[in-house]
Amino acid sequence: MKHPATVFNPQQPHILFEGATQFKLGSFDGKAICYDFPKILTYLDAKGKLLFGKNFKIYEDDHELLLKLASYFIQDHKYCKKLDIDTEKGILLSGPVGCGKTTLMRLLPHLVPHKKNYAFIPARNIVFGFNGIGFKLIEDYSDNKAYCFDDLGVEHIGRYYGKDCNVMGEILISRYEVFKQKDILTHITTNLNAEELQEKYGERIRSRMREMFNLVAFGENSRDKRK
């Protein structure tokens, strides 16, 4: 079921409307928004239920991580600096299966509907596409769009006309060039830790990933929200 888009008034960007319900995320002095984190949580909980169903909830265990991610998405540069988050890099969100990585990376852009969102694409779907059309698909991701690649690391090696290819590894190299030359960001969700990413994609790509991403991680013992 498709839900109506979030509505906002450019003159009052701190107020969002979901249907007839108003959510005030903070105060606005005409130049900048001073966000209120508890109000952000209230909005995210409500929007999450609209997007993902009535069983969606914001867990208290995740508040610290959400504070980091929300600060990044609203581009609170001063607070992000305190958190050691670079607002000019993308997000690499890691954590155990079922902890909510995909959900949060779909949800958080709704905090800033006035900003252009990224395309959200499962890594395994990209590899399926490569198996059908080949190396042109890798070139296609050198474009000027922002992307979030979901579940990086679960995809298989691509194969086109008998030739194997680490498709996502090649795309990450392409996205690194886009990042360096055009300041266009890429985001990632993954179940893998840094060592596992290096094992799958190699030190050369892992080194580029350090430049491209802020690593934000759920705790190892984060609950499985699917249960």
Chain segment 146-161, per-residue pLDDT in tens? 999 999 999 999 999 9
Type of residue found at 126? I
Assigned CATH topology for domain 88-217: Rossmann fold (3.40.50)
> Is the separation of the CB atoms in 158 and 165 below 8 Å?
yes
pLDDT at 30: 86
Region 120-130: mean pLDDT is 97
- 22 pLDDT higher than 70: yes
Cα separation, 173 vs 142, whole angstroms? 9
pLDDT at 114: 86
pLDDT band at 1 (very low <50, low <70, confident <90, very high): very low
Tell me how crowded residue 159 is: count the other CB atoms within 10 A of its CB: 14
Region 12-32: mean pLDDT is 91
| CA pseudo-torsion sign 20, 116, 111, 12 | negative
Q: Which of 105, 101, 150, 155 is nearest to 128 (CA)?
A: 155
- What residue spans define the domains of the chain? 88-217
- 171 pLDDT higher than 60: yes
CA angle 38, 44, 49 (to 5 degrees): 135
Mean model confidence pLDDT for the chain: 93
Cα separation, 45 vs 56, whole angstroms? 7
Please report, rounded to a whole number, the percentage of residues in the chain having pLDDT higher than 70: 98
Indicate the SS3 state at residue 121: strand
Tokens representing residue 150 in the block? 């979901």
Q: Specify the higher pLDDT residue, 6 or 83.
A: 83
Tokens representing residue 24 in the block? 């005030």
Tokens representing residue 197 in the block? 């990413």
Region 202-227: mean pLDDT is 90
Does the pTM surpass 0.85? The reply is yes
- 2 pLDDT higher than 60: no
- 77 pLDDT higher than 60: yes
pLDDT at 4: 61
Cα separation, 134 vs 179, whole angstroms? 23
pLDDT at 3: 57
What are φ and ψ of residue 10, in 5° steps?
A: -55, -25
